[in-house]
Amino acid sequence: MKSKQFFVLLVLAAVLLGLGLYVKRSRNRDWQGGTAGPALLPGFKVTDVARFVLQNDRGTTTVEFADGLWRVGERNGYPAKYERLATFLEELRDQTATQTVAAGESQYGRLRLNEPGQDDAGTLLTVYNRDGGEIAAVLFGREHVRKDGGANPMAGGDYPVGRYLRLRGGKEVFLVAKTFAQTDEGPDRWLDDQFFRIGDIREASLVRDGETQWTASREDTGGDLLLQGEIPEDKEVDGAKLNSIKNAFSWARFHDVLGPAADPAATGLAQPATFVAREFGGVVYTVAIGGKTDEGKYHLAVQAAYEGPETRVPGEGEKPEDKEKLDQEFEKTLAEARKKVAELNARTQGWVYLVDSWAVDSVVKTRDELLKDKPKPAAEPAAEAAAE
């Protein structure tokens, strides 16, 4: 690279960095209109919290500590994501009022600070201790949005920089520097989204209506899956579709859960399609796939088992000094596989999950859908005209 070109790139990088800092400082100045005031909830301790309830015109979300875990009440006590709720409560504890807003009761509606059940209501958070006593009650109103007039080329439009709050029963309105977007979300967003992950698939199959639709397998982790059974002469395997099975559920996520009382007929799990995947490590996943919701999410249930070797077979010519080390490594791997299976089953047993269609569509195919037409042979060139 020529020195002149390098200099131009260096200047451009400096300009972009300066613009980025300008944006950040501008956003900070927007909500730091005054000196941070006292704590919004003085004396609030996260360790005292045993339950909190969010109420707005979209419904109610209850997160509570029960049976040793934080759970979501509106989802039949499914475990909550601890990191998410802990961060929320810590931010609430540390929050200070950046500004006290001059707004009387007549302005509560404009700021969406009326209590649930009234017009222009906000979200009411009520926090309780172990004895059921109320620790705090806060109304979360409208977001405070910075209006971008176009002077800043890096701003990218309007964006929220804070939120209007009011303590229930209090008259004062506060502007804080956090948007507390979690308060606007439903019960599904508080769920612990840890699910399951299928690793290196050695063999996979799909059974529907009691019949095996297809089976595919491979000999080693570096190979591609091969479709078992005869292939019609005019067909060939669609490698892209078969390869997608190899990565099926490699990082599964779910959107919501239904409890043990979910109707199998309504979810399609009374007669599911069954996807079975066997890993090279011996863990076997059985995924029951039901019908779709109106939003295109599949109903799904999963369980695991270990079907690998229970003992290690020494290799031919194995040295005695290597045996102890290899046996220990095998026992460690076996224990990890069993633990993985036990934890998965304990977490998923009895639950029905709603999963994106893209995570499932690659396996719910017929055998014919894993094939494609062979390319037609090129047309033979026309015979040369006979010499005159």
Q: What is the pLDDT of residues 295-305, one digit of tens each?
A: 999 999 999 99
Query: What integer is the mean pLDDT of 12-22?
Result: 44
Q: What's the confidence (pLDDT) of residue 6?
A: 40
Q: What's the confidence (pLDDT) of residue 37?
A: 72
Q: Could you tell me what percent of the chain has a pLDDT over 70?
A: 86
Residue 70 has pLDDT above 80, yes or no: yes
pLDDT averaged over every residue in the chain: 87
Q: What's the confidence (pLDDT) of residue 16?
A: 43
Residue with the bigger pLDDT between 97 and 288: it is 288
Give DSSP secondary structure letters for 103-125: --GGGTTTTT-BPTTSTTB-EEE
Q: What's the confidence (pLDDT) of residue 14?
A: 43
Confidence of residue 31 (pLDDT cuts 50, 70, 90): very low
Query: What integer is the mean pLDDT of 258-267?
Result: 93
The answer to whether 287 touches 299, Cβ cutoff 8 Å, is no
Q: What's the confidence (pLDDT) of residue 258?
A: 96
CA atoms in the 13 A half-sphere facing the CB of 101: 20
Confidence of residue 106 (pLDDT cuts 50, 70, 90): confident
Residue 19 has pLDDT above 90, yes or no: no
Residue 58 has pLDDT above 70, yes or no: yes
Among residues 338, 228, 229, 212, which one has the least CA distance to residue 275?
212
SS3 179: coil
Q: What's the confidence (pLDDT) of residue 23?
A: 43
**pTM of the entire predicted model:** 0.81
Q: What's the confidence (pLDDT) of residue 32?
A: 44
Residue 28 has pLDDT above 70, yes or no: no
Lowest model confidence (mean pLDDT) among 10-24, 93-107, 292-306: 10-24
Q: Check residue 211 and give left, alpha or beta (phi > 0: left; psi -120 to 50: alpha).
A: beta
Query: What integer is the mean pLDDT of 276-296?
Result: 96
Q: What is the pLDDT of residues 302-342, one digit of tens each?
A: 999 999 999 988 888 888 888 889 989 999 999 999 999 99
Give all strands (DSSP E) within the chain, no chain letters: 51-56, 59-66, 69-72, 78-79, 99-101, 123-128, 134-146, 159-167, 173-176, 201-208, 211-217, 226-227, 235-237, 256-258, 273-279, 283-292, 297-306, 352-356, 371-373
Find the angle CA(19)-CA(23)-CA(25) to the nearest 5 degrees. Answer: 115
Q: What is the pLDDT of residues 207-229, one digit of tens each?
A: 999 999 999 999 999 999 999 99
Confidence of residue 8 (pLDDT cuts 50, 70, 90): very low
Q: What's the confidence (pLDDT) of residue 342?
A: 97
Q: What is the pLDDT of residues 346-373, one digit of tens each?
A: 999 999 999 999 889 999 999 999 999 9
Q: Could you tell me what percent of the chain has a pLDDT over 90?
A: 70
Euclidean distance between CA atoms 173 and 99, whole angstroms = 9
Residue with the bigger pLDDT between 264 and 4: it is 264
Q: What's the confidence (pLDDT) of residue 149?
A: 56
**Which amino acid is located at 282 in the chain?**
G
Confidence of residue 98 (pLDDT cuts 50, 70, 90): confident
